[in-house]
Amino acid sequence: MLLLVGSQIYYTQKLVDLNEKNKSLLRLGQDFLQLRRYEKDFLLRLDRTYVDKFNQQADQFLTKLVAIQTADEQSAANQAIFTQLQTSLPLYQQQFNTLVEMRVAMGLDENNGYQGAFREATHALEAEIDQANLHYMHQLLLQIRRAEKDFLLRKDMGYVDKELNLYSSLRQRIETQPATMYAQLMPLLTRYQQQFMQLVDAYRHIGLDHNSGLQGRFRNQAHLVEQNFNSLDQQLQQQVDEAQQRVEMTSIMIMLSTSVVLLVLLVRSFLTLQRAFSNFVMFFYRCKREYQHMDEKNMGFSEFKYLATIANEMIDSRRQMERELRSAQDEISRLKQEHRATMIS
């Protein structure tokens, strides 16, 4: 019973520790989801506030991860996953900050960064063409702007090729203009095209979809962190299940062993009691005809041994009384004979 209680206390404490780690990991998972939320909030709203929140959350995540790892140092399998997490999360944070820097360089709104410079170049070119009343060039510029906006909206390089063809046509038209008009329009067109291609290169560097460029690498790194985290969660859950199974198997084995031992003790106690009772019955039965000591060692129970000792002392006492009575009777017989001889003489 003490073994059963001790094993239950040991395994219960182990299960409590594993459940505490599991709860800590669950809270860490919630922190990771919050981290992904700040990331998506920035990419959607382009607000630097979410970048600060993301970095603060990432630092807290690493601190909690180290604390959980310290509390779980006895598990070699878990340590490998902890190491992977500690390696992959900083890379995830670094790639996010790189993506943020690129987005800031492009401009968080249309008035800043590459977008702001491109917008200024566009307005300057449009204003100059309108002022010169070059309607056929204005129509061509509108087609260029349409191709430009289609690219910015759909991120399809086909619209860039279309824009380049239209740009070549507009450039040829400007080259046919007088020298004064050429000197006014060509620098503006060149600036417009340079700013547009700078913006195109920036979008290509970031990634034209979620699976390419910085966005693709960042997305893959985020999935790697999530995969490592899920592996750690599954590993801990498996350890909890294995510990529960060990508790059940150990408890069953101890209870079965205890039951067998108790059954053997019960049978032996019953046989010992029966043998001791039979010895007492035989002892009292023999006492009618003869005196015979009881074997105290075969009584089994200490109480019966004590009774056997008292019974043996009773026999010894009775024997002593009978010897004394026999001596007294012999003395009385001798005295009677002497008295009888005196009367005759």
What are 118-154's pLDDT values in tens digits?
A: 999 999 999 998 888 888 888 999 999 999 999 999 9
With a cut of 70, say whether residue 73 has pLDDT above it: no
Closest CA relative to residue 102, chosen from 207, 196, 202, 197: 202
With a cut of 70, say whether residue 223 has pLDDT above it: yes
Per-residue DSSP letters for 61-82? HHHHHHHHHHHTTT-HHHHHHH
Decide if 8 contacts 251 (C-beta within 8 A).
yes
| pLDDT at res. 2 | 78
With a cut of 70, say whether residue 299 has pLDDT above it: no
Closest CA relative to residue 219, chosen from 43, 72, 79: 43
| pLDDT at res. 199 | 93
**pLDDT, average across residues 180-207:** 92
Instruction: Please list, in sequence order, all residues whose beta carbon lies within 8 angstroms of the beta carbon of residue 186, skipping any fewer than 6 positions away.
Output: 171, 174, 175
With a cut of 70, say whether residue 158 has pLDDT above it: yes
- Best-predicted range by mean pLDDT among 82-86, 185-189, 320-324? 185-189
Query: Amino acid identity of 23?
Result: K
Query: Amino acid identity of 176?
Result: T
The model carries a pTM of 0.68
**pLDDT, average across residues 26-38:** 89
CATH 1.10.274.10 for the 1-108+211-245 domain, yes or no: no
d(Cα 146, Cα 124) in Å, to the nearest integer?
A: 17
With a cut of 80, say whether residue 108 has pLDDT above it: yes
Per-residue DSSP letters for 73-136? TT-HHHHHHHHHHHHHHHHHHHHHHHHHHHHHHH-SSTTSHHHHHHHHHHHHHHHHHHHTT-HH
Instruction: Please list, in sequence order, all residues whose beta carbon lies within 8 angstroms of the beta carbon of residue 134, skipping any fewer than 6 positions away.
Output: none
Task: Categorize the per-residue pLDDT at 301 as very low, low, confident or very high, splitting at 50, 70 and 90.
Answer: low
With a cut of 70, say whether residue 286 has pLDDT above it: no
Decide if 83 contacts 68 (C-beta within 8 A).
no
Task: Categorize the per-residue pLDDT at 172 as very low, low, confident or very high, splitting at 50, 70 and 90.
Answer: very high
| pLDDT higher at 7 or 173 | 173
- Burial bucket for residue 42 (CB in 10 Å: 0-12, 13-18, 19+): buried
Decide if 166 contacts 140 (C-beta within 8 A).
yes
| pLDDT at res. 245 | 83
Q: How far apart are the first and last CA of the chain?
A: 89
Closest CA relative to residue 241, chosen from 68, 14, 6: 14
| pLDDT at res. 19 | 78
Phi/psi for 98 (5° steps) reads -65, -40
d(Cα 128, Cα 184) in Å, to the nearest integer?
A: 8
Query: What letters, b where the CB count within 10 A reaches 16 and e where it falls short, cover 317-334?
Result: eeeeeeeeeeeeeeeeee
d(Cα 114, Cα 146) in Å, to the nearest integer?
A: 19
| pLDDT higher at 233 or 305 | 233
| pLDDT at res. 344 | 76
Task: Categorize the per-residue pLDDT at 160 as very low, low, confident or very high, splitting at 50, 70 and 90.
Answer: very high
With a cut of 90, say whether residue 197 has pLDDT above it: yes
**pLDDT, average across residues 295-306:** 67
Other CB atoms within 10 A of residue 299 CB = 21
With a cut of 80, say whether residue 221 has pLDDT above it: yes
Structure tokens at 180: 């004064």
| pLDDT at res. 171 | 92
- In percent, the amount of the chain with pLDDT more than 70 equals 90
| pLDDT at res. 28 | 85
Q: How far is CA 56 from CA 49, 93, 133, 304, in A?
A: 11, 11, 55, 79
With a cut of 90, say whether residue 191 has pLDDT above it: yes
**pLDDT, average across residues 292-321:** 71
Task: Categorize the per-residue pLDDT at 293 as very low, low, confident or very high, splitting at 50, 70 and 90.
Answer: low
The whole-chain average pLDDT of the chain stands at 84
Instruction: Please list, in sequence order, all residues whose beta carbon lies within 8 angstroms of the beta carbon of residue 99, skipping any fewer than 6 positions away.
Output: 43, 206, 214, 215, 218
Within the chain, residue ranges assigned H as helices are: 2-45, 48-71, 76-106, 113-131, 135-154, 157-175, 179-206, 213-286, 302-344
With a cut of 70, say whether residue 75 has pLDDT above it: no
Query: What letters, b where the CB count within 10 A reaches 16 and e where it falls short, cover 207-232?
Result: bbeeeebbbebbbebbebbbebbebb
With a cut of 60, say whether residue 288 has pLDDT above it: no
What are 312-344's pLDDT values in tens digits?
A: 777 777 778 878 888 888 888 888 888 788 877
